[in-house]
Amino acid sequence: MSKRTIMAAGNWKMNKTPGETKEFVNALKGLVAGSNSEVVIGVPSVCIPAATEVAKGSNIKVAAQNVHFEASGAYTGEVSCAMLKELGVEYVIIGHSERREYFGETNEMINKKARAILDAGMLPIICCGETLTQREQGVTAEHVRYQIKIALLGLSADEVSKLVIAYEPIWAIGTGKTATDEQAEEVCAVIRQLLVELYGNDVAEKTRILYGGSVNAGNAKALFSMPNIDGGLVGGASLKLDAFEQIVKHDA
Ligand code: 13P
């Protein structure tokens, strides 16, 4: 079993209004109070005030799903780290495959975002993962290593030991086709080995590496018990109270 605290992180994507957020977080608070897992919900930016207000005093932490790396200025439609921090955001998901595919997010941008998030006193959840073609061509490990290596450029050992990496194979996202425990473990172990190479054993032992891609109430326990998997980044199942509760309490 991992010495690291398991994280159950929801990524709501573009779902739920501020009103629905209040209702959901209010109900979730009671369901996950006292859990052994660190509970995080990644909500749309306009739902952040509702989420942090209702989650106050509970063990639920709020994540943003994106941020701009510049401090301020003429970036129409964007949100800065200072804005998120002031609202009580603790984590920011960056480099999600949907943001890479639909919004042109590059590894270099992800690296700049990680720097800005850490400077603002928050922690990034850095996503990586291969397409089905890359898996079939046998380049999964090199692709993921490349993504993470660029994303971490210039970050200190202390910073890397606190941030979170999420391995999300693109072919497993929203498809109901979960990676097997062994497939997920294999790539999370590759990422941990990369951390050993870049930062040494101590850091690599501390950094949490999550698996994401069709995590549900039925498969969370087995996935989270793999030696190099420290929890999950959960899409669809994090929108349902009972499913997310069960994922948080996978060890109960
Ligand atoms: P699903 O759990 O819906 O497959 O989504 C995974 C994901 O993209 C989380 O960031």
Q: What is the pLDDT along the chain (252 residues), one digit of tens a residue?
A: 457 999 999 999 999 999 999 999 999 999 999 999 999 999 999 999 999 999 999 999 999 999 999 999 999 999 999 999 999 999 999 999 999 999 999 999 999 999 999 999 999 999 999 999 999 999 999 999 999 999 999 999 999 999 999 999 999 998 888 899 999 999 999 999 999 999 999 999 999 999 999 999 999 999 999 999 999 999 999 999 999 999 999 988
Supply the pLDDT for residue 1. 44
Q: Which atom of ligand 1 is nearest to the CA of 174?
A: 4
- Ligand 1 pocket, CB under 6 A: 11, 96, 168, 173-174, 212-215, 233-237
What's the CATH number of domain 7-248, 3.20.20.70, 3.90.110.10, 2.60.40.10, 2.40.30.30?
Answer: 3.20.20.70
Atom of ligand 1 nearest to the CA of 215: 2
- What does the alpha-carbon distance between residue 53 and residue 57 come to, in Å, rounded to a whole number? 9
How many Å lie between the centroid of ligand 1 and the Cα of residue 98?
A: 10
Ligand 1, atom 9, lies closest to the CA of 235
By annotation, the residues acting in catalysis are 96, 168
- Residue 91 CA to ligand 1 center (angstroms) comes to 17
Per-residue pLDDT tens for 23-55? 999 999 999 999 999 999 999 999 999 999 999
Handedness of CA 193, 197, 198, 202 (dihedral sign): positive
Q: How close is the Cα of 236 to the center of ligand 1, in Å?
A: 6
Give the dihedral sign, CA 225/227/231/236. negative
Give the HSE-up count for residue 82: Cα atoms under 13 Å, Cβ half-sphere: 4
pLDDT of residue 2: 53
